[in-house]
Structure 1
Amino acid sequence: MSEDLQAFRLRAREWLAATMPRAEASADDGPGDGRDDEAWVRARELQRILYDGGFAGLCYPQEYGGQGLTPAHQRVFNEEAVGYEMPLLLNVPTFSICAPAILDFGTEEQKRQHLPAVIRGDEVLVQFLSEPRGGSDLAGAITRGTRDGEVFMLNGSKIWSSNAYAADYGLCLVRTDWDAPKHRGLTMLIVKVHQPGVEIRRIKQVNGNMEFCQEFFDDVPVPASDVLGEENGGWAVASRLLFHERTAVGGGSPYVSGPPGVERSGEAEPDLLELARAGDRLTDPVVRELIGESQVLERVADQLAVRVTDGISAGELPDAAASLLRLFMATSNVRRTQIGLEVAGPRAAAWPPSDFRDGGSYGVNFLFRQGASLGGGSSEMSRNLISERLLNMPREYAADRDVPFSQVRQSKTPAR
């Protein structure tokens, strides 16, 4: 029997007040410059505090180090966690995407090796999915996993892997059968990130952030015991990863800890009301209308996340319904960044170094507004999933369906 929600809320409130440090806004809250190793050390420390207090992995089974509670308990904890320092960096993709996939597809040995370590804060996980030549065609992966007895030799490259440099293990989609159609010749491997043959290059974005990485694999041995799911059955695992990612991006993951409304980067935006008040625009009826619209979009997103995730958990909605969350979050995020830009006014374009959060973050968010339309697959892909798997519309034509991958015409691989 799960603990009563009100009793759990009171227990969490008391423990948080007695144990967790209060979150403090830093004067240097601008875009990261890549020198953020201390942030990852701190995130692991905070996760260990949650673990020692019995508040880590609330929705993970007890046999793997979790608490075996419900998504409602996690939502209550997140509400009470507002104002406290939390290990937000671990939410995506470790807790909300990769670890749930191991829970879904892992062997008993894999679950017992990785899940307790994740919940303690000892392991950080990453996705190795996209490739330099792949675009949105994830199933067209050409990174090779060549089997040699009980070992797969890994060769190729992955890209746009968020925070791979800070991770311990990666879930890597590789091609293991070139004569099968592209969706049926893939395997998911659990790869140790920092080992001989793995090179990680960080990618510097225009705002100085270095979250994204590209990885190069040169004859990296991966034990066959580290296949997640089945050999040549990797597309099922990848599809599940994408389900968890769409749910997380849409705000519906039951596995994340931290205040509601915190973005993927791990930092909440400054409050629009405070922003308008600081600019002496709070009495402007147009500004008030914009702020109201933003708050309505946020409330709809929260309620939609609860409705869809509860519906999927109860079997009333198919897993593909997670694309509804993903699509609404993407479209509403674009609108909310536009609203933030309008409310911030000139301060969104120029600001003193110490006042990044006073308007500047909205300017940067506006430049990156389309990013929310890419995580977990593009918005166009979400619309395809909704039309085909929820509305039962005809499937989009694909020229390479059921064709052996070795016979599919390939573009040239970019030079290293």
Structure 2
Amino acid sequence: MSAETVEDFRLRARRWIRAELGAFRPETASGLRSVAREAELAAVAYDRELQRKFYDAGFAGLAIPTRYGGRGLTGDHQRAFNEELAGYEYPTRFQVPTLSPCAAVLLDFGTEEQKLRHIPAILRGEEIWMQFLSEPGGGSDVAGAVTTAVRDGDDWILNGAKIWTTGAWWSDWALCLARTDWDVPKHRGLTVFILPIHQPGVQVHQIEMLNGAKDFCQEFLTDVRVPDTDRVGEVNDGWTVGRRWMFHERMLADSPYVTWSDRPGLTDAPLLDVACRAGVLDEPGTRELVGESQMLDLVETALAGRLATGISSGAISDQSAALGRLFRGLAGVRQSTIRAEVAAGAAIAWSEDDVHAGAAETFLMRQTACIGGGTTEMARNVISERLLGMPREPSPDSTLPFRDVPRGPARG
């Protein structure tokens, strides 16, 4: 298998995809939309079956080492597979964050036992993973985590809350960042753990969004016992793990571990079709808007490829992944805005089969492109400080013991 060229692999993948897979169905894919609970659970179950089908056929974990159930191929093989997959179904719920960043972090920092226990199970469709990272009072300050982990013999006891975990209610395992030392500066007292989501002490609450979607969740951890064997990385060195974790999150568009394709979505009718149906194709500025949207797609694809090649070869810093994150966020907001502008009044009311369906909803939800996966504000900081060498903004809490850092409103 390792000697198979990318082109030979592409031909083999093409034959299998066209013979074995159905058309991509956006209504069953993962996404922030209003779906009945039973329908979502059925879609999750189907994704598990589909992931197992990919695994049995030898098309799961293409760039993951064979000792962990993967195929031991290259990122180029994964990209070729993704290109051939366009328009066909694939297990969307196993890609982000299960395979990246979660499985990627395990590959980077997990023990051999952890890798052998979890990576093959993920590839077989038995485990869906989430990241317990953001906290209700933390905003984008991941290092300011106040979820605590206290040592108790060979175990750790976790208490706290996490939020904005997409799909936690139907997932199996979580990668969790917790504070293990309050007497050192905030970046030095963090540790990463893995834990099953559905267990005593873990409460998962779904959050209803303005469009009716309930996939975002908040989790409350109360005296959750985690064995030390489920710790990832060294004690109090969670920020080292976290920085790599953020890297994988920023590189999702070209991760060697993620299977994805350009696929039609519920709101992804070609922009020219939207313009024609809205009767505005010949109006001044419409074609410029369509061209701008297509240009953003081209630039995003080219940028992702450039960053992946540069980072994998060592020609550029892995912190350059922030460039892709920033561009994706801004481009996503702009393209949502363009779609609403082109649809004009037709975006406000539509029938179920209308190409305008969801244009206004997408516009209202557009800012999620700048929040999920690490905010664009954080990406700007990384670019300015770590790539351009600009001075870091003064931060008095960077040297204080974390327990002495002021949190919450000032009290008189």
Q: TM-score, normalised by structure 1?
A: 0.93
Q: Distance in 2 between matches of 1:78 and 1:338?
A: 28
Where does 1:13-412 land on structure 2 (aligned, <5 Å)? 13-24=14-25, 31-33=33-35, 35=37, 36-248=40-252, 251-260=253-262, 269-284=268-283, 286-352=285-351, 354-355=352-353, 358-411=355-408
Q: Distance in 1 between matches of 2:219 and 2:149?
A: 15
8 A contact 2:28–2:43 mirrored in 1: no
8 A contact 2:33–2:214 mirrored in 1: no
8 A contact 2:280–2:286 mirrored in 1: yes
Give the Å deviation of 1:406.
Answer: 1.5
Q: Secondary structure at the match of 2:164?
A: strand
Q: Describe the shift of the 1:285–1:6 C-alpha distance in structure 2 as closer, same or farther (beyond 3 A).
A: farther
Give the Å deviation of 1:24.
Answer: 4.2
8 A contact 2:266–2:358 mirrored in 1: no
Q: Distance in 1 between matches of 2:362 and 2:370?
A: 13
Q: Describe the shift of the 1:364–1:109 C-alpha distance in structure 2 as closer, same or farther (beyond 3 A).
A: same
Q: Distance in 2 between matches of 1:258 and 1:379?
A: 23
Q: Distance in 1 between matches of 2:26 and 2:173?
A: 31
Give the Å deviation of 1:30.
Answer: 9.4
8 A contact 2:94–2:128 mirrored in 1: yes
Q: TM-score, normalised by structure 2?
A: 0.94
Q: Distance in 2 between matches of 1:373 and 1:406?
A: 30
Q: Distance in 2 between matches of 1:50 and 1:281?
A: 43
Q: How big is each residue's C-alpha offset from its partner over 1:94-131, in whole Å with a ceiling of 9 and x where there is no partner?
A: 11211101111000000111111111111001000111
8 A contact 2:206–2:218 mirrored in 1: yes
Give the Å deviation of 1:55.
Answer: 0.6
- 1:152 partner amino acid: W
8 A contact 1:269–1:361 mirrored in 2: no
Pick which of 251-260 and 232-241 moved more: 251-260
Q: Secondary structure at the match of 1:155?
A: strand
- 1:13 partner amino acid: R
Q: Distance in 1 between matches of 2:202 and 2:377?
A: 33
Unmatched 5+ stretches in structure 2: none
8 A contact 2:300–2:328 mirrored in 1: yes
Q: Secondary structure at the match of 2:100?
A: helix
8 A contact 2:176–2:195 mirrored in 1: yes
Q: Distance in 2 between matches of 1:25 and 1:179?
A: 49
Q: Distance in 1 between matches of 2:373 and 2:121?
A: 25
Q: Describe the shift of the 1:328–1:152 C-alpha distance in structure 2 as closer, same or farther (beyond 3 A).
A: same
Pick which of 342-351 and 321-330 moved more: 342-351
Q: Distance in 2 between matches of 1:23 and 1:175?
A: 42
Q: Distance in 2 between matches of 1:297 and 1:117?
A: 37
Q: Distance in 2 between matches of 1:12 and 1:58?
A: 11
Q: Distance in 1 between matches of 2:267 and 2:278?
A: 20
Q: Secondary structure at the match of 2:151?
A: strand
8 A contact 1:273–1:291 mirrored in 2: yes
Give the Å deviation of 1:32.
Answer: 2.1
Q: Distance in 2 between matches of 1:345 and 1:288?
A: 14
Q: Distance in 2 between matches of 1:267 and 1:257?
A: 20
Q: Distance in 2 between matches of 1:378 and 1:38?
A: 32
Q: Percent identity?
A: 49
Q: Secondary structure at the match of 1:358?
A: coil
- 1:125 partner amino acid: W
Q: Secondary structure at the match of 1:122?
A: coil
8 A contact 2:187–2:239 mirrored in 1: yes
Q: Distance in 2 between matches of 1:381 and 1:60?
A: 29
Q: Distance in 1 between matches of 2:358 and 2:251?
A: 25
Give the Å deviation of 1:34.
Answer: 5.1
Unmatched 5+ stretches in structure 1: none
**Paired positions, count:** 405
